[in-house]
Chain A
Amino acid sequence: MKRAVGLQVLMLLGCGPSAEDYSFVRTEHCPPDCDAGARDAGPTDAGPPVIPDEPLEPWDTADAGPLTGIFAAEVIVTAKVVIDIEARQLYRIRLLQRGTELRMRTQACRISLPAVAGVAELTIPPALERVLQTKGNEVEGPYLSMEDPVGAAFRPPSAVIILGADLSDPMLDLLPTQADPSRALDEDADGHPGVTVDATTVLCRNPERAYVALRAVALLDGIVEDTDTIAGTVSPLLDQSVLGVSHNCLAPAAELVIEIRPGSTFRALRVADAQDWDGNGNVSCPEIALHAADLFGDYWMGR
């Protein structure tokens, strides 16, 4: 009996690795014909474009000058985020010209955030785009240097767009932060502070989300080349504050510092019936986005 116990003690002491103590992590897997790497198709994969009905602003255009109309404007921002990059933005600008006076309404149609391909990329999801398109900036004043617009200098005041924050002074107030989110505003109504942007980084296994507050300011300084074209330089300001992330793998992306470099430009092109997809007399932001590749080149293909 004692020897048997001794043997069992020896066995217990020296039984080596044990598969019974090594737990399984799952019991099921894909059947043989299952594509484990497949992902669902996205919302833009198929179907005709959906253009919300957006009527033209009811401005009195009597005696309006030749510059009056709707323009699609592309702003190219040169910045440095680790390396030199370009970020492009698309705007709808409606102008009503009388002499040197301009009534001007600016809407942001597409904003691409500065990103480093393969390292950290932030993109605007459809829900945020809808919020963006409700943002408008309307000003009126003597923004042309002469009554004959062709060849005139075009210098409107700065246009400011705030997303995800409620600021008393849009230009001077600090954006909310993770430490002080008191002025954060859940503008896309998804339950997270600020607005939600999609984020992919080199550190993340899957696409994640960042909750941010943004401020974009553009000061245009251009020349009216002809009644259909205005071009010049931009002094942009892009300010962003990360209020939260869906996964800690985004933490390095939240630390990215964007440095705006000199050399940003803009080009505004008149749009009209050819771009009026729904024929309602107004070329809205979605219609401008739909034709952006035709107007400004392949960069906008599929964006």
Chain B
Amino acid sequence: MSISVILFFTICILLLWVTFAGKELYPFSYYPMYSAPHDLKSISVFRIALEKKDGSIVWWQSEFYRYPEYSGRKLQQLWQARENNQQKKIFLQLEQQRLLISVLQIMEKENINTGEYNAFHIIERTINADLQPVDKTIEVIPLNRLKR
């Protein structure tokens, strides 16, 4: 059997396997994104906002938009875990602090002057019946607490 036939069938088998077994075998992928059922009623995201010295609030924006999204999702997971497990509350708070310190470091590496801000606001965003966003501040964390 020639090398071309072996190569052809090996790659085809790998592609079929990741597709039907639903496995990730980098660089082969089964591309599962946006396939799970999703419900309007359960939509909720956590976003990080920054409080300026004058008291106004702006969203944390990064050149790399996954950073705010990933950090928000992590914060949401930590909050859900805190609600479900009071015994591990301190551990989860420390984990949140570690995450926010990483956010601060990313901001500094992106040349954002963190001295212009007073605090992080963790904001939960949901939608109302008119599909408009509804924001609720979950926690305010002074930056000097993280910079210490």
Q: Do the two shown chains form a genuine complex with each other?
A: no
Interface residues in chain B, defined as those with a beta carbon under 8 Å from any beta carbon in chain A: none
Interface residues in chain A, defined as those with a beta carbon under 8 Å from any beta carbon in chain B: none
